[in-house]
């Protein structure tokens, strides 16, 4: 069972993604900002990180950079709003494996996770 770290400042989004992924046999850990994401990455050692770009304290791009410094092979999928595609492109350059536009259709999210886990 793969472990997924969900990082989003929206409690609704964290719970929504947790329910969806839990039903599909993923183990879930969560963080609500970029600072917690880096701490949880160290502690939980997830197989994949699903991370929002816009968050308080430390945004997703800063957290992605720090996670990649900890683990150059980290598998991170960025979640973005429609108006953040430039930031999503930057995330790919930093090392994100994919980016998904919210709201993410469940089948698209599951397909992306499967592809990233297989690489």
Indicate whether 85 pLDDT > 80: no
Q: Look over the chain and give the mean of its residue pLDDT values, rounded to a whole number.
A: 95
Task: Using alpha carbons, list the distances in angstroms from residue 73 to 25, 46, 48, 54.
Answer: 23, 12, 10, 23
Closest CA to 88 of 61, 113, 109: 61
* Phi (first) and psi of residue 51, to 5 degrees: -135, 130
CA of residue 103 relative to chain centroid, distance? 14
Q: Is 95 left (phi over 0), alpha (psi -120 to 50) or beta?
A: left
Indicate whether 89 pLDDT > 90: no
Indicate whether 25 pLDDT > 90: yes
pLDDT digits (tens, 9 = 90+) for 40-76: 999 999 999 999 999 988 999 999 999 999 999 999 9
Indicate whether 23 pLDDT > 80: yes
pLDDT given for residue 51 in this prediction: 97
Indicate whether 105 pLDDT > 80: yes
pLDDT given for residue 81 in this prediction: 80
Alpha helices, DSSP H only, in the chain?
A: 11-23, 34-44, 60-70, 85-94, 106-118
Domains by residue range for the chain, with CATH: 3-113 (3.40.50.2300)
Indicate whether 84 pLDDT > 80: no
pTM of this prediction? Answer: 0.95
Three-state secondary-structure class, residue 76: strand
């Amino acid at each position: 069972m793969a472990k997924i770290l969900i990082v989003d400042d929206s409690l609704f989004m964290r719970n929504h993604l947790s329910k969806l992924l839990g039903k599909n046999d993923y183990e879930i850990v969560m963080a609500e900002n970029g600072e917690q994401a880096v701490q949880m990455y160290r502690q939980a050692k997830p197989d994949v990180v699903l991370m929002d770009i816009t968050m308080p304290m430390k945004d997703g791009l800063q957290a992605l950079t720090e996670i990649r410094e900890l683990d150059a092979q980290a598998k991170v999928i960025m979640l973005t709003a429609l108006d953040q595609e430039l930031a999503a492109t930057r995330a790919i350059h930093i090392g994100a494996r994919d980016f998904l536009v919210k709201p993410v259709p469940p089948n698209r999210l599951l397909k992306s996770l499967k592809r990233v886990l297989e690489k």
